[in-house]
Structure 1
């Protein structure tokens, strides 16, 4: 359902004003130091952005994708990494909303609305980017649990997340998605953040390598339940549509910032004694 135009404009205007007032003047210190922007994150939580596309019945704002896209543009105009704080979380919420069991939706979505329980998305591996056919991370059934072993790469928000949407290969050689709950931090049970990956840009939020050694996941946390076994790839690709919209909106926001900066400079620059 489309979001009311007046409500959408009010929400976008509030984010735009905040970006102008509090983000743009302070972004350099976080970008250069690769420091997590805690105060900015807190304000995003207060805006309700982590529940922006989650239906109202679960406590979210229930915004349509157009409004969400406009918000991502404004965030990226100020500091693109803020859009990255949201992206993997929204991918996870979308996967649960579309393909989770009723019990999984009730158990996870309400906790994902206020930013205190954030999701990471974990598909890529050292030898497998988006190529699910090359995945080596494995999950084997052991009673009411699955035992996970493997290494995942380029996990955005991996250290600070409380939930990881993990794609792993099961003994039938199919890909299944597991809802891996954990405590935020560098290690939890069989999970270790084995390396932080430095980046030329897109700084201020962590991108990490994560290792799983005999980590146990309840069978109840197979996305989609029994019917979800072997369908992880299609679930992930479906939700990645929203992730690609997020990335495209970032590009528009960054382009707008570049245009605004160029226009401002052109009004100040003089050459050969004349304004350009």
Structure 2
């Protein structure tokens, strides 16, 4: 039984065709020279990829989780960087959908659904790795604002995202620590917010991974995701559920590409007068 309906199957087939006709013929050269895939991203926007997790009334192409996983796998089959370019965006969309205020949803989700506004999440810190409760980035209330100080690192798509879902401490004295963690929605033009540099990588080229700095960055109190401080850790863990599915789907797509290329090579390459696949050990 097909886990997706006919309309969703058509979406997956459209992405498959895009990958085969547009991505795979160019991806080797683009990966080697680390070119940002601007044209591919624009095509993904037109296909509705950035709105796959955004339901009506904010978007018009929301799909089931199995369909989302299959689309991700197809993109990764062509170039994992394309799947990575929409992964964090989807997590932020889910956070806004599940926990955002009406005003936050209306401000961000319609533009995120079209890809006009791209979003990412900022969790990892220098020296902190995945120990999120030990984070040092913090925000204190100052009248009608939060003032943020700290740094994040290895943030994918940060330079081209207009919105960052920032995990930070709003109550450093909370016990247990996770009860003092909140998510703030930081827009790109926020004073005091700086994308300091792109980090070099062995692979996963094309999309950027950056260091972020917050030096008395000031956002309004309305930037708090939802209405209550101290819920950020639980919110992010819930949002990362779709992120984990997305990462697993990327692996599936890369594995499929490796299998297909290996099979084709074994059928085309000959040695000792016959295709190499016939040389059984």
Is the pair's TM-score, using the shorter chain for normalization, greater than 0.5?
yes
Q: Which of 187, 191, 211 is the aligned partner of 2:193? A: 191
Contact 1:137/1:149, CA 8 A, preserved across alignment: yes
Contact 1:3/1:64, CA 8 A, preserved across alignment: no
Q: Decide which moves more: 41-50 or 54-63.
A: 54-63
2:118 is matched with 118
Question: 2: CA distance between counterparts of 1:115 and 1:181?
Answer: 15
Contact 1:3/1:63, CA 8 A, preserved across alignment: no
Q: Does 1:142 align with 2:148?
A: no
Which secondary structure does the structure 2 equivalent of 1:164 belong to?
A: strand
2:181 is matched with 175
1:189: Cα distance to partner?
A: 2.1
Contact 1:137/1:148, CA 8 A, preserved across alignment: yes
Which secondary structure does the structure 1 equivalent of 2:158 belong to?
A: coil
Q: For structure 1, which runs of at least 5 residues remain unmatched after alignment?
A: none
Contact 1:53/1:60, CA 8 A, preserved across alignment: no
Which secondary structure does the structure 1 equivalent of 2:121 belong to?
A: strand
Contact 2:171/2:181, CA 8 A, preserved across alignment: no
2:14 is matched with 14
Distance of aligned partners of 1:263 and 1:122 in 2 relative to their CA distance in 1, 3 Å threshold: same
Contact 1:150/1:211, CA 8 A, preserved across alignment: yes
TM-score in terms of structure 2 length:
0.92
Q: Which of 184, 190, 204 is the aligned partner of 2:206? A: 204
TM-score in terms of structure 1 length:
0.94
Stretches of 4+ aligned residues off by more than 4 angstroms: none
Which secondary structure does the structure 1 equivalent of 2:41 belong to?
A: helix
Question: 2: CA distance between counterparts of 1:60 and 1:123?
Answer: 29
Contact 1:158/1:207, CA 8 A, preserved across alignment: yes
Which secondary structure does the structure 2 equivalent of 1:166 belong to?
A: strand
Contact 1:52/1:113, CA 8 A, preserved across alignment: yes
Contact 1:60/1:110, CA 8 A, preserved across alignment: no
Q: How many residues align?
A: 269
1:136: Cα distance to partner?
A: 0.2
Q: For structure 2, which runs of at least 5 residues remain unmatched after alignment?
A: 174-179, 277-281
Distance of aligned partners of 1:60 and 1:156 in 2 relative to their CA distance in 1, 3 Å threshold: farther
Question: 2: CA distance between counterparts of 1:85 and 1:39?
Answer: 13
2:176 is matched with none
1:34: Cα distance to partner?
A: 1.2
Contact 2:52/2:113, CA 8 A, preserved across alignment: yes
Q: Decide which moves more: 129-138 or 200-209.
A: 129-138
